[in-house]
């Protein structure tokens, strides 16, 4: 019985057809190859000392004349945002930008989806001054309209508390926020959730990641190693989206699905490469799946894929260290977020 064997070695694709004896040939490899900023923490520290912001981890906040203001880590910068009606922004944005220009700040933008005015802070020697200008803008043009910002839980007005909601500092009702946080704590600590749906979600996230990674490799003719750090987050996102339970079960499920996504990528990549080089159909190559597996997971091919594997393992290590599905970790984070609660 004829069977196809192959392996990657020293940058070349070598193929062997076995018919009782082995006859080999070497061919050229077509393999997809992978080919003065102030820290946010320092900015938060300076602003907390200057303006008394509440600060924890990657988020800080304060209430200015009843208007909640959110400061969040944004790569190298700190993003500032606060509610403002779009009509006000459209009428006054030139004034805002003149005020920001005076302190050499970044122009104010507007997020139509959340109805929030936004800007960023980054300059080490002017961050306090720039945020002072933003605070004046919020006092004059945003605070007078805060009653139009409805509670995100129930959609009603007359809010009586500021609290963290989906990484934004928002006006909410005490009763709505308390009910939501109590219910979330109960769900997390009791392990409630649908494990079957969580597994389906994690698998869907893993397969989606694999498909995108493969498509990038095929059409860009290269593989971006850093992209593979997202494999674990894709599985985690699917698991949470489909309401899988928190705890050890969730950690194991996401870990296994993440590994599966990388296994699928390496297998499908090799199927594509073999089909391209030998001008075979995908179906013809898949008929020889045992040989494809042998090639894809041979030490030589894994060595060729070291760049992708390092980033993948980095993302997986972050997940295992941070334990975002740990019951105690989630509840602890919620307790920290409660420190931001302020009566209005």
d(CA 42, CA 4) in angstroms, rounded, equals 59
Q: How confident is the model at residue 145 (pLDDT cuts 50, 70, 90)?
A: very high
The yes-or-no verdict on residue 27 having pLDDT over 50 is: no
pLDDT score of 104 more than 90:
no
- Extended beta strands in the chain, E state: 3-9, 12-19, 21-28, 54-56, 59-64, 67-74, 77-83, 109-111, 116-121, 161-165, 168-172, 342-343
Q: What is the pLDDT of residue 20?
A: 26
Nearest alpha-carbon partner for 69 in 52, 86, 57: 52
pLDDT at 11 (0 to 100): 36
Query: Which fold is adopted by the domain 40-149?
Result: Yope Regulator; Chain: A, (3.30.1460)
Average pLDDT over residues 127-154: 92
CB of 149 within 8 A of CB of 174?
A: no
The pLDDT of residue 165 is: 92
Considering only CA atoms, which of 235, 226, 294 is closest in space to residue 259? 235
Pairing of strands 77-83, 109-111: unpaired
Task: Please give the pLDDT value at position 16.
Answer: 30
Distance CA 303, CA 306 (A): 5
As a whole number, mean pLDDT of residues 236-244 equals: 94
Strand order in the sheet with 67-74: 54-56, 59-64, 67-74, 77-83, 116-121, 109-111
User: What is the pLDDT, as a whole number, of residue 38?
Assistant: 58
Q: Which of 275, 295, 251, 270 is closest to 210 using CA atoms?
A: 270
Tell me if residue 108 falls in helix, strand or coil: coil
As given in the structure block, the two tokens for residue 144 are 């007078």
DSSP labels, 234-245: HHHHHHHHTTPP
What's the whole-number mean pLDDT along residues 127-139?
A: 91
Q: Where in the chain is the domain with CATH 3.30.1460.10?
A: 40-149
User: Is a pLDDT exceeding 80 seen at residue 39?
Assistant: no
**Percentage of residues in the chain with pLDDT exceeding 90?**
48
Cβ(128)–Cβ(50) below 8 Å:
yes
What pTM did the predictor assign? 0.68
Give the tokens for residue 338.
Answer: 């409660």
CA distance linking residue 121 with residue 73, whole number of Å:
10
Give the pLDDT score at 63: 95
Span 151-161, mean pLDDT?
A: 94
On whether the CB atoms of residues 340 and 170 are closer than 8 A, the answer is no
Q: Are 14 and 32 in contact (CB under 8 A)?
A: no
Structure confidence at residue 74 (pLDDT): 75
Determine the distance from the C-alpha atom of residue 223 to the mean position of all C-alpha atoms in its chain, rounded to a whole number.
19
Confidence of residue 301 (pLDDT cuts 50, 70, 90): confident
Which of these, 11, 6, 120, 31, lies nearest to 70 by C-alpha position?
A: 120
Q: How many residues does the chain have?
A: 344
How confident is the model over 47-57, as a mean pLDDT?
89
Residue 32, number of CB atoms within 10 A of its CB: 21
pLDDT tops 80 at residue 306: yes
Residue written as token pair 């190298």: 76
Mean pLDDT of the chain: 84
Q: Which residues of 135-163 are buried (b: 16+ CB within 10 A; e: fewer)?
A: bebbeebbbeebeebbbbbeeeeebebbb
């Amino acid at each position: 019985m004829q069977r196809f064997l192959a392996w990657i070695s020293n940058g070349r694709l070598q193929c062997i057809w076995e018919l009782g004896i082995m006859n080999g040939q070497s061919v050229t490899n077509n393999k997809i190859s992978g080919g003065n900023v102030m820290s946010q923490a320092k900015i938060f520290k300076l602003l907390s000392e200057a303006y008394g912001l509440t600060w924890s981890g990657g988020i800080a906040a304060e209430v200015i004349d009843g208007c909640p203001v959110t400061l969040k880590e944004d790569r190298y910068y700190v993003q500032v945002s606060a509610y403002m009606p779009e009509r006000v922004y459209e009428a006054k944005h030139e004034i805002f930008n003149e005020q920001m220009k005076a302190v050499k700040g970044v122009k104010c933008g507007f997020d139509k989806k959340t109805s929030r005015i936004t800007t960023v802070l980054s300059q080490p020697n002017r961050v306090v001054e720039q945020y002072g200008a933003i605070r004046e803008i919020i006092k004059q043009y945003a605070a007078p309209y805060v009653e139009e910002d409805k509670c995100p839980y129930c959609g009603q007005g007359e809010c009586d508390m500021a609290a963290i909601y989906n990484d934004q500092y928002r006006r909410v009702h005490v009763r709505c926020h308390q009910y939501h946080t109590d219910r979330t704590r109960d769900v997390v600590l009791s392990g409630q959730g649908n494990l079957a749906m969580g597994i389906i979600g994690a698998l869907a996230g893993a397969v989606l990641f694999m498909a995108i990674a493969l498509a990038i490799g095929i059409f860009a003719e290269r593989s971006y190693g850093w992209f593979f750090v997202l494999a674990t987050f894709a599985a985690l996102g699917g698991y949470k989206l489909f309401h899988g339970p928190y705890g050890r079960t969730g950690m194991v499920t996401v870990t296994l699905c993440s590994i599966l996504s990388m296994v699928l990528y390496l297998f499908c990549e090799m199927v594509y490469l073999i089909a391209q080089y030998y001008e075979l159909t995908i179906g013809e190559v898949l008929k020889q799946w045992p040989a494809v597996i042998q090639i894809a997971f041979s030490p030589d091919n894994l060595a060729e894929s070291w760049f992708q594997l390092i980033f993948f393992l980095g993302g997986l290590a972050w997940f295992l260290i941070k334990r975002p599905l740990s019951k105690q970790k989630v509840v602890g984070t919620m307790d920290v977020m409660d420190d931001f609660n302020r009566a209005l």
